[in-house]
Structure 1
Amino acid sequence: MNAAPALLGYAAAVGVLAPRVMLRGGWPHRAPVLAAAVWFALGTSFSVCVALAALHLATPGAHLHGILYSCGVALGVGPPDAGAVRRLGVGVSAAVPTAQLAAFAHHALRARAARSRHRAILDKVGRPSASLGATVLDHMTPTAYCLPGHRSRIVVSSGAVDLLTETEIAAVVAHERVHIAGRHHLLLAAARAFAIVFRGVPLARHLGQQIPLLLEMAADDGALRRHPHRTLVTAMFEMASAGAVAKGAVPKGALSAGGRTVPIRLRRILAPARRTRPAFRAVVAGAAVLMPLLPLLLACPPGLA
């Protein structure tokens, strides 16, 4: 039995229908970390499904273990009896993870280079502030951002220092610390890589849009664990009103507490508190773990292995 139709059907459901379900639900904004995990699980499941479907189309009737043997043959590990169609299927299957890894490396290295250049500038013109736990940069626009990765750094403009109170700046700095600790820059690179490789697929488009927003919400939640809601809300509103989203205020490769997502995040923080139930979280987390494995079960059902 050829599993390609089932795999393609599953890929269509994950690529088209699953994003609609995620966007209609209200829980992702209440549990942004869990929601981000689900988006990435959907992306991984879709990638595996497409790769396995290509192999099954090239090797009709074979189960997963047989397909893996065919991969070895097509790649030169085994008897040289692989046909052109089989080689094409293996090539398409290998191209899926290869393209994603290449896109991820491109974005990650490009952002890293931009951060390195900006650090060099900060070493010359920035003023380290022990009391703020950040580097102060002379800039009229009130803004705050972090440079994650090696030699991570949090930057606060002099405009933000003049505009905000000490407690408000502390809340903003706490927001940036969550970005650094969570290595959110790598997650953003992975989301952008998936969005580029599968451009045109609804899942890729929405994943590329939702991950940045969910990571900002996760950083907000981290800051709110240490600071009152009103403090963070005031800081976000003041900086947004003063033009913190101005072009050039935040360098490439940096993560900022401001940006275009501020209105959505403000409404979320100011809305009545609603938490997801532990049982729901456990079910969704379990589903996120199992989703990448479902294409493997479709490719090689346990009873037919």
Structure 2
Amino acid sequence: MNHHALVPLGLVLVTGFLVPWLVVRARWAQQVPRLALAVWAACGAVFTVATALLPAQLVLTSESSHRLTDMVLTLRLPSPERLFALEGRELLAFAIALTVVSLPGVAFLRRLARARRVRLRHAGVLRLVGRYDPDLRATVLDDDRPAVYCLPGRSRRVVVSSGAVHTLTPAQLAAALAHERAHIAGRHHLLVAAAESFSAVFPRLPLARHGGTSVPLLLEMTADDRALRRCTRDALATALYALASGRAPRSAFAAGGPSAALRMRRILTPYSAGHPVLRGLFTITSAALAMTPLIIACCSFPG
């Protein structure tokens, strides 16, 4: 084992265990959901790369581990000549690193393809039984239950049930539609697929477990914030209340759903004193400072 293993080991512990523990308990995460989403995404990327590099740092010499680190960080494959010249341990470490980096990406692409097939099938059904309303710029589906949802991706569209049209006021309906269009504009289905695929690859990891449940909720809150640029807090909150029991098909975003009560309370409750962005940055900085002793120890060794 060479001393350079301290840094990836520290990154694995900080991003995989410490930061998730801090973020799920932080109030600022729900006040500034986009910052929290950035933290989850950054932790996932850093954890994956650090996990890929850790075996190499444990078994290879400093010179060999540096070469492998450069290849992983620059996504550059070795030349055929260099590949055949690798020793057994180097070849094994390279294969492990390549596998660890590739697994989340492969799972992400498979999940995207599966969700796209589901959305295309549902879009085909909507073309048969729904009708497009140019005033709402949405597809209206005959159903007495109030529901508003969207299908993201290439088959993107917003769907409104006839029950929602009859139940919601014009202001409430506009707020619900703005929420769904925020999901489409933000391509939130990509982040959901990334969180789900990461959880599938690392199911027992706190980062994956907490991120898999936090990311969808944070995306709903992000869409709420964007909708509030076009509507009042009362209109959006009462729309969520009316749509709380509504259901949406798989791979779709619903304006209501099980998180409606929590989001209503967030929308109607002003931020407490203090600056949530600063508190979030303080949490991130504190986690980064946990790495300082390992970096100092690593750099204090020659080679």
Fold in common (TM above 0.5):
yes
- The answer for the alignment partner of 1:84 in structure 2 is 88
Encode CA deviations 1:221-272: one digit per residue, 9 max, x unaligned: 11111111111111111122xx31xxxx311211111111112111211212
| Corresponding position of 1:179 | 183
Partner of 1:115: 119
Are residues 172 and 284 of structure 1, via their aligned partners in 2, closer, same or farther at CA, if it must alter by over 3 Å? farther
After TM superposition, give the deviation of residue 68 of structure 1 in Å: 4.9
2: CA distance, partners of 1:32 / 1:100: 23
TM-score, normalising length: structure 2: 0.86
| 1:79 positional shift | 6.4
Q: Which residue of 2 aligns with 1:251?
A: 249
C-alpha separation between the residues in 1 aligned to 2:45 and 2:302?
24
DSSP 3-state at the match of 1:66: helix
Distance (whole Å) between structure 2 residues aligned to residue 285 and residue 154 of structure 1 = 37
On the 8 A contact 1:30/1:276 being kept in 2, the answer is no
CA deviations 1:190-210 (Å, max 9, x no partner) are 111111111101011011111
| 2:229 counterpart of 1:228 | no
- Decide whether the 8 Å contact of 2:31 with 2:276 is kept in 1: no
1:1-305 equivalence runs, <5 A:
1-62=2-63, 65-68=66-69, 76-78=80-82, 80-240=84-244, 243-244=245-246, 249-274=247-272, 277=275, 280=278, 283=281
Distance in 2 separating the partners of 1:302 and 1:228? 57
**Alignment check: 8 A CA contact 2:55 2:96 kept:** yes
Q: Is the 8 A contact 1:145 1:255 kept in 2?
A: yes
1:159, distance to aligned residue in structure 2 (A): 1.4
SS state at 1:259 partner: coil
- RMSD (CA atoms): 3.1
For the residues of structure 1 that align with 2:259 and 2:276, how far apart are their CA atoms? Answer: 27
Q: 1:141 to 1:223 in 2, by over 3 A?
A: same
How many residues align structurally?
295
Q: Can you give the 5+ residue segments of structure 2 that lack an aligned partner in the other structure?
A: none
Q: Could you give the per-residue CA deviations for residues 175-201 of structure 1, whole angstroms, max 9, x where no partner exists? A: 001000000001111111111111101
Residue deviations 1:84-117, cap 9 Å, x none? Answer: 3222211111111211111101111111111111
The alpha-carbon deviation at position 285 of structure 1 amounts to: 11
Letter of the 2:262 counterpart = I
- Contact 1:16–1:202, Cα closer than 8 Å, also in 2: yes
Identity of aligned residues (%): 40
> What TM-score do you get using the length of structure 1 for normalisation?
0.86
